[in-house]
Amino acid sequence: MPWRGEIERSFQQREQANRWRARKRVQSPMGRTLTIDGQPLLNFCSNDYLALANHPALKQASAEAIETFGTGSGASHLVCGHQELHHQLEQDLAAMLGAQQAIVFSTGYMANLAVPQTFLARNDLLLEDKLNHASLLDAGSISPVKMKRYPHLDINSVEKSLAGSDANRKMVLTDGTFSMDGDVAPVQQLAGLCRQQEAMLVVDDAHGFGVLGTSGAGLLEQEGVPVGGNVLMVGTLGKAAGSFGAFVAGDAIYIQSLIQFARTYIYTTALPPAVAAASITAVNLIQSEPSRRQRLKSLINRFRKEAAEAGLPLMPSPTAIQPIVLGSEKSALAADALLRENGILGIAIRPPTVPIGSARIRLTFRADHTDEDIDKLLSVLTDDAFRQLIAAEDAS
Ligand X SMILES: Cc1ncc(COP(=O)(O)O)c(C=O)c1O
Q: Are 248 and 116 in contact (CB under 8 A)?
A: no
**Residues of span 120-139 touching ligand X by CB under 6 A:** 133, 135
Q: Are 284 and 145 in contact (CB under 8 A)?
A: no
Taking the complex as a whole, the smallest distance from the CB of residue 117 to ligand X amounts, in Å, to 15
Q: Please state the length of the chain.
A: 396
Instruction: Give the closest residue to 345 by CA, choosing from 108, 18, 25.
Output: 25
Binding mask 245-284 for ligand X (x = CB under 6 A): -x--------------------------------------
Among the listed residues 239, 243, 279, 369, the single catalytic one is 239
Binding segment for ligand X among 9-17, 101-109, 216-224, 357-365 (CB under 6 A)? 101-109
Q: Residue 128 or 393: which CB sits closer to ligand X?
A: 128
Is residue 179 near ligand X by the rule CB under 6 A? yes
Helix and strand numbers, DSSP H then E, in the chain: 15, 13
| Residue 67 burial class via C-beta count within 10 angstroms: exposed 0-12, middle 13-18, buried 19 and up | exposed
Taking the complex as a whole, the smallest distance from the CB of residue 109 to ligand X amounts, in Å, to 4
Binding segment for ligand X among 64-72, 200-208, 317-325, 380-388 (CB under 6 A)? 200-208
Q: Residue 69 or 105: which CB sits closer to ligand X?
A: 105
Is residue 206 near ligand X by the rule CB under 6 A? yes
Can you give the C-alpha Rg of the chain in angstroms? 21
Active-site residue, 207 included: yes
Residues 6+ apart with CB under 8 A from 276: 65, 83, 85, 86, 88, 89, 104, 245
* Neighbouring-strand partners of residue 392: none
Beta strands in 199-292 (DSSP E): 200-204, 231-236, 246-250
Q: Residue 104 or 335: which CB sits closer to ligand X?
A: 104
134-142 vs 108-119: helix crossing angle, rounded to 10: 30
Q: Residue 120 or 206: which CB sits closer to ligand X?
A: 206
Q: Residue 204 or 336: which CB sits closer to ligand X?
A: 204
Taking the complex as a whole, the smallest distance from the CB of residue 383 to ligand X amounts, in Å, to 30
Active-site residue, 165 included: no
Taking the complex as a whole, the smallest distance from the CB of residue 248 to ligand X amounts, in Å, to 12
Taking the complex as a whole, the smallest distance from the CB of residue 169 to ligand X amounts, in Å, to 22
Q: Residue 108 or 218: which CB sits closer to ligand X?
A: 108
Binding segment for ligand X among 28-36, 66-74, 84-92, 105-113 (CB under 6 A)? 105-113
Instruction: Give the closest residue to 217 by CA, choosing from 137, 129, 109, 102.
Output: 102
* Neighbouring-strand partners of residue 64: none
Using omega within 30 degrees of 0 as the cis cutoff, is the peptide bond preceding 352 cis? yes
Q: Residue 133 or 366: which CB sits closer to ligand X?
A: 133
Instruction: Give the closest residue to 175 by CA, choosing from 208, 199, 144.
Output: 208
DSSP per-residue codes, 19-80: -------B-S-SSSEEEETTEEEEE-S-S-TTS-TT-HHHHHHHHHHHHHH-S---SBIIII
Taking the complex as a whole, the smallest distance from the CB of residue 194 to ligand X amounts, in Å, to 19
Is residue 236 near ligand X by the rule CB under 6 A? yes
Burial pattern 316-334, b for ≥16 Cβ within 10 A else e, equals ebbbbbbbbbbbbbbbbbb
Instruction: Single out the residue of 128, 175, 223, 336 in contact with ligand X (rule: CB under 6 A).
Output: 175
Is residue 107 near ligand X by the rule CB under 6 A? yes
Active-site residue, 133 included: no
Interface with ligand X (CB under 6 A), residue total: 14
Taking the complex as a whole, the smallest distance from the CB of residue 239 to ligand X amounts, in Å, to 7
Among the listed residues 207, 279, 358, 369, the single catalytic one is 207
273-288 vs 56-69: helix crossing angle, rounded to 10: 150
**Residues of span 301-330 touching ligand X by CB under 6 A:** none
Q: Are 94 and 140 in contact (CB under 8 A)?
A: no
Binding segment for ligand X among 28-36, 113-121, 203-211, 266-274 (CB under 6 A)? 203-211
What residues are labeled active site? 179, 207, 239
- Give the residues lining the site for ligand X (CB under 6 A): 107-109, 112, 133, 135, 175, 179, 204, 206-207, 236, 238, 246
